[in-house]
Amino acid sequence: MVRFAVLALIIGLATPTYAAEIVVDLKDGRILVENDADAPRLPASLAKLMTAYVAFEAIQDGEIAPDTMIRISPAAAAQPPVKLGLRTGRELSFEALLGAGLVGSKNDAAVAVAEAVAGDEAAFVERMNNAAQDLGMINTRFANATGLPRPGQRSTARDIALLSRALLERFPARSALFARRSVQAMGKRVSTTNPLFGRVPGASGLKTGFTCAAGYGIAGLVEQGDRRLLIVTLGHRDKRARLRQAKALIDQGVAAQSRSRLAPAIRRSTEDPPDIGACADAPAAVAVATSDVSPEERALYAREVARLRSSVSPPRPPAPRTPAVVRPLSGWGAFFGGFTGKPLAEARLTQAVGRLGGTGTPYTEIRRRDGRVLALVHGLDQRAASALCRSIREYCIILAPQVLLNPRARWRR
C-alpha cells in the first residue's frame, strides 16, 4: 500500500500544473488571492471578453445600434465549431449575434460582430489590441475575435481580470448579458457555457474558455451579500478541475484579507504560453477528449482525438467508404464551407456520401481557398441535395446548378 502511495506521489509530482489565477474584490479592486497571475497563458474563448468590450464601446459611441441587422459574410459562416450555424447571406440583429457570441461562445457570431463593427476581423483585432494597451494589459496580444488557435495569441490571469473589471465598471448595463443563462438567436435557444450557474450561490457571470492547448479557463463573477468577487483561473486539464479550483478560489477570496489593489503587471513576461495539453495525455486524456468535451469541440479537435486513441490501442483499419470521384461540376450541389485541414473536410464528405445512400450519383470535390479547405458534393438532384443538407445539421448550403457553375458565386469566394 505504501509503495502504491509513493508511486502515486511521484506521478503527481511529474505531472506539470499550469493553473494561473487571481481573485479580486470588485468593490475596491483589492487582490485577495493570486498565483502565477502574470504567467503567459492562451486565452481561448476568454478573448471574447475583449470582443465584447470593443463591441460595447462601439454601441456607446454610436457606431452601431443593437437592432442593426447584420448580413453574415462567408468568413463568419465558415468559422469552425463551436458555432451557431450561421449561413452566408442570412441577417441577424447585432444584439442577437452578441448574445450568441458571448453567452454561447459561438465563433461564427463573434466574427460577425467583429465585421459589423470594424468592416473585417483584422481591423477589429487591431482595436482589441489598442484597447488592451489602454487598459494596461501589457502581457496580452489578441490574434482574432474568437480565441481560436492562432500564433501570437496570449494573455495572463491578471490581464483577464483587468479586462473583466473594465467591462463591468464601464458597461454595467451591457455586461448584464454575461449573467444570462440562455439567449435566443436564429430561432434557437443558446445556453451559457458557464459552469458556476446552479453550482455556486451568487454566480452572475462571466465567460469560459477552452482549446486543447489553452486548457480550461474561466473568468467568474460571484455576488454574495455586499461582496462582489471576480475570479480568473486558467490552464486546467479538464472541466472538473476548473470547477473545483473556481470554487476553492471563491472560498479563499471570501476569507482573505486585503493585500493590494488590482493593477497592471509590474513585469513583462517574455516566455511563450505553455501548451496545457488538455487533450494530450493517455489514457486519461482520451476520456477527456471524448466525453468531457462537447460534440462541437470534439469535431474541432478530431485529429487530436484520433491520435490519442491510436496511442492507447492499436489503430483499427479504416472503414470502407465510397471513393471520392473528381469530375466537372454538375447537377445540384451541397456546400459544407471551409475547414481548417483536409482531414476534417474529407471526414465531412465521407459522412455526406454515407447519408446519401443510393440517392443520386455523388461526386465530391475539395479545393483550397485563403488557407482553408472547402468541401462540396455535387451531381445530385434537387431533392437529394435538400435532404442531405437537412440530415447533416451543420453548415450546409444547397447550390442550384446555375449557382454551382457560376464562377462569381459567393460560395467560390
* Annotation says 155 is catalytic: no
Tell me the sheet residues that pair with 206. Answer: 220
Count CB-CB contacts under 10 A for residue 156: 26
Of these residues, 48, 83, 207, 239, which one is catalytic?
Answer: 48
Contact partners, residue 156, CB within 8 Å, separation at least 6 = 20, 37, 38, 39, 40, 41, 139, 140, 234, 265, 269
Q: Which amino acid type is present at position 354? A: G
Angle in degrees, CA 405, 406, 410, rounded to 5: 120
Of these residues, 105, 155, 175, 204, which one is catalytic?
Answer: 105
Q: How far apart are CA 163 and CA 134, in angstroms?
A: 10
Residue with cell 489503430: 315
* Annotation says 105 is catalytic: yes
DSSP for 249-287, please give it: HHHHHHHPPP-EE----SS---SPPP---TT-STTHHHH
3-state secondary structure of 380: strand
Helices (H), 282-341: 284-287, 295-300, 302-312
* Annotation says 204 is catalytic: no
Q: Which amino acid type is present at position 228? A: R
Helices (H), 21-152: 48-60, 74-77, 94-102, 107-118, 121-134
Q: How far apart are CA 132 and CA 164, in angstroms?
A: 11
- What residues act catalytically? 45, 48, 105
